């Protein structure tokens, strides 16, 4: 009897996580089958494509089992939120016919299927304050931070006016967590000189700020050469957020807003790629067959969806170029309406909120800074993607993590959330 009781408690050590995952698995299976039925009624195709779903469910089960075996005390909502977003992303990409058993070795598909495992393994490696190890390898992350953008400039391929990595990949996505680590490490080491208690205009403070600024600036120059506006905007916001978090000085928010206005003017008037993006944002109907076509079709799709949507399989996503990547939110809004797309946004916002909460419980300043940086990356990526799709800001070409078919973005945010999860296991 005692042995039975021990085994039973062993498997429900993380009951909140278990029941959330259990519920989500039923929803994902139903949605996958429904999306398949909108494309084909052939039973053989249905069974074949269920293999993809089975691999994902095995990845989810193994992730939960590893956390249970390791006795992890991490936040029980992180993994279910990742599974919810990735599961929905897989189903919707299946509905868009971008993933199937016809291309089982697609790297983007593989990374989406394994994202729960990547989050879990990252958490288990860095749990119990081991994330502090990152502060001792800042120079390695610094080389990565500068080396990857330079590699793309010299060895990348051009597509649609921008530079990409081999196979039109976006390895610069991995620079985002590297930037968080490097900035957090430098701010942690310069904490005393940058705190409110010290003068902002003292020699040591200005020296530290100038050094940190130039370390941040070097990869930004590379991103401008690559015409990667999304990376520039995301890096700038992270820089301001971490500066304020480390120092508590409101002056950095003011300087950040001034910098954003100056940067926006530079992109608008002096960078050709920026001029195109701004024109298609402000007056897309002036260029209906060229730069404005994508945003116009996106707006039409969302208008067609209305509040409750036209239903999965009833929309016209083929009219939106690259709908599977940057503009997947427009298709979701068309078929699931304002209500469905708002729930998706809420899931990202809640994930970011839990990440901030984990950062607030961190045991040291470095872990807190990394946690805040990673939590901020979630809402920044959401804002840049959804904001561009709904015409709130110029389109930056940033994918929606776990939902868009972008392997590098999926891998990047699996690491990001894994670090946040590890911090919650240490606090």
Same domain flag for 85 and 179: no
118: containing domain: 12-125
| Cα–Cα distance, 331 to 334 (Å, whole number) | 5
Total number of residues shown for the chain: 427
Domain final residue pick, 125, 154, 184: 125
The C-alpha angle with vertex 74 and arms to 65 and 116, in degrees rounded to 5, equals 50
Highest averaged pLDDT of the listed ranges 82-86, 167-171, 188-192, 298-302: 82-86
Eight-state DSSP code of residue 322: T
Indicate whether 341 and 405 sit together in one domain: yes
pLDDT, tens digit, 9 for 90 and up, residues 115-147: 999 999 999 999 888 888 888 888 899 999 999
Q: Are residues 297 and 261 in the same domain?
A: yes
Structure tokens given for 188: 């942690």
- Beta-carbon contacts of 112 under 8 Å, excluding residues fewer than 6 positions away, are 56, 86, 89, 90, 93, 99, 402, 405, 407, 410
Residues 75 and 142 in one domain: no
When computed from its CA atoms, the radius of gyration of the chain, rounded to whole angstroms, is 22
Q: Would you say residue 1 lies in a domain?
A: no
In this structure, is residue 114 part of a structural domain? yes
H/E segment holding residue 52: helix 43-69
DSSP state of 156: -
pLDDT of 12 over the 70 cut: no
Give the chain's mean pLDDT: 87
3 in a domain, yes or no?
no
pLDDT tens by residue, 229-248:
889 999 999 999 999 998 88
Q: How many CB atoms lie within 10 A of CB 424?
A: 25
Residues 183 and 103 in one domain: no
What is the DSSP secondary-structure string of 4-50?
HHHHHHHHTSSHHHHHHHHHHHHHHHHHHHHHHHTT---HHHHHHHH
The backbone torsions φ and ψ at residue 158, rounded to the nearest 5 degrees and listed phi first, read: -90, 135
For the segment 33-79, what is each residue's pLDDT rounded down to a tens digit?
888 777 666 666 677 778 889 999 999 999 999 999 988 889 999 99
Is residue 6 a part of any domain in this protein? no
Cα 50 to chain centroid distance, Å, stands at: 26
Per residue, the 3-state secondary structure of 393-414, as one string, reads CCCCCCCCCCCCCCHHHHHHHH
396 vs 373: CA distance, rounded Å: 20
Assess whether 154 and 64 both reside in one domain: no
Q: By the 8 A CB rule, do 67 and 120 touch? A: yes
- Rounded to an integer, what distance in angstroms lies between the CA atom of residue 378 and that of residue 413? 8
Q: How far, in Å, are 153, 190, 207, 210, 314 from residue 201 at the CA level?
A: 37, 15, 9, 12, 61
Terminal alpha carbon distance of the chain: 36
Same domain, 237 and 180: yes
**Exposed, middle or buried by CB within 10 Å (0-12, 13-18, 19+), for 401?**
buried
Mean pLDDT of 308-336: 89
CB 67 within 8 A of CB 17: yes
**What digits encode the pLDDT tens for the residues 185-217?**
999 988 767 766 666 777 777 888 889 999 999
Closest CA relative to residue 145, chosen from 220, 210, 208 = 220
The torsion region of residue 228 among left (phi > 0), alpha (psi -120 to 50) and beta comes to: beta
DSSP summary character for residue 158: E
Q: Cβ of 121: how many Cβ atoms within 10 Å?
A: 16
Give the burial string for 223-246 (b: 16+ CB within 10 Å, else e). Answer: bbebbbbbbbbbbbbbbbbbbbbb
C-alpha 37: how far from chain center = 30
- Does residue 301 have a pLDDT over 70? yes
In this prediction, residue 8 carries a pLDDT of 43
pLDDT in tens, 260-290: 888 888 888 887 777 888 888 888 888 777 7
Q: Tell whether 162 and 19 lie within a shared domain.
A: no
Query: CA-CA distance, 148 to 348, in Å (whole number)?
Result: 28
- Residue 350 domain flag: yes
Residue 273 falls within a domain, yes or no?
A: yes
State the total domains in the chain: 2
Reference 41, options 316, 313, 311; nearest CA is 313
Count CB atoms within 10 A of the CB of residue 160.
11
What pLDDT shows up at residue 48?
72
Claim to verify: residue 320 and residue 172 sit in the same structural domain = yes
Q: Which DSSP category does 200 fall into?
A: T
- Angle of helix 78-95 relative to helix 15-37, nearest 10 degrees, comes to 0
Same domain assignment for residues 44 and 190: no
Q: Pseudo-torsion of CA 301, 307, 308, 310, nearest 10°?
A: -20
End of a domain among 125, 156, 189?
125
pLDDT at 41: 61
For 334-384, what is each residue's pLDDT tens digit?
999 999 999 999 999 999 999 999 999 998 899 999 999 999 999 999 999
Picking from 75, 105, 125, the residue at the C-terminal end of a domain is 125
Q: Are residues 154 and 302 in the same domain?
A: yes
Structure tokens at 330: 């427009």
Shared domain for 234 and 153, answered yes or no, is yes
């Amino acid at each position: 009897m005692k042995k039975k009781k021990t085994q039973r408690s062993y498997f429900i050590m993380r009951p909140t996580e278990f029941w959330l995952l259990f519920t989500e698995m039923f929803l994902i299976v139903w949605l996958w089958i429904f999306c398949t039925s909108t494309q084909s009624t052939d039973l053989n195709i249905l069974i074949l494509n269920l293999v993809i779903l089975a691999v994902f469910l095995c990845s989810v089960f193994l992730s939960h089992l590893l956390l249970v075996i390791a006795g992890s005390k991490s936040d029980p909502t992180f993994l279910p939120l990742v599974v919810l977003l990735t599961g929905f992303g897989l189903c919707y990409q299946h509905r868009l016919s971008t993933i199937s058993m016809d291309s089982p070795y697609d790297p983007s598909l593989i990374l989406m299927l394994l994202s729960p495992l990547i989050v879990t393994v990252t958490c288990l490696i860095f749990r119990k304050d081991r994330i502090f190890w990152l502060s001792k390898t800042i120079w390695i992350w610094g080389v990565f931070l500068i080396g990857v953008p330079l590699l793309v400039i010299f060895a990348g391929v051009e597509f649609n006016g921008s530079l990409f990595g081999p196979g039109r990949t976006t390895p610069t996505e991995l620079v985002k967590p590297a930037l968080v680590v490097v900035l957090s490490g430098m701010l942690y080491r310069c904490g005393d000189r940058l705190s409110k208690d010290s003068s902002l205009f003292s020699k040591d403070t200005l020296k530290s700020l100038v050094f940190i600024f130039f370390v941040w600036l070097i990869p930004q120059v590379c991103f401008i050469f690559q015409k990667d506006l999304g990376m520039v905007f995301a890096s700038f916001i992270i820089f301001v957020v971490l500066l304020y978090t480390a120092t508590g000085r409101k002056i950095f928010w003011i300087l950040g807003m001034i910098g954003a206005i100056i940067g926006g003017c530079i992109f608008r008037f002096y960078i050709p790629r920026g001029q195109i993006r701004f024109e298609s944002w402000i007056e897309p109907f002036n260029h209906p067959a060229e730069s404005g076509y994508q945003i116009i079709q996106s707006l039409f799709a969302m208008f067609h969806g209305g509040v409750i949507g036209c239903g999965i399989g009833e929309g016209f996503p083929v009219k939106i170029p690259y709908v599977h990547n940057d503009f997947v939110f427009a298709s979701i809004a068309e078929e699931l309406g304002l209500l469905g797309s708002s729930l998706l946004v809420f899931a990202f916002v809640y994930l970011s909120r839990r990440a901030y909460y984990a950062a607030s419980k961190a045991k040291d300043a470095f872990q807190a800074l990394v946690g805040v940086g990673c939590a901020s990356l979630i809402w920044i990526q959401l804002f840049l993607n959804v904001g561009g799709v709904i015409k709130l800001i110029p389109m930056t070409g940033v994918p929606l993590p776990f939902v868009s078919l972008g392997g590098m973005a999926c891998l990047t945010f699996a690491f990001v959330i894994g670090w946040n999860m590890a911090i919650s296991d240490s606090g």
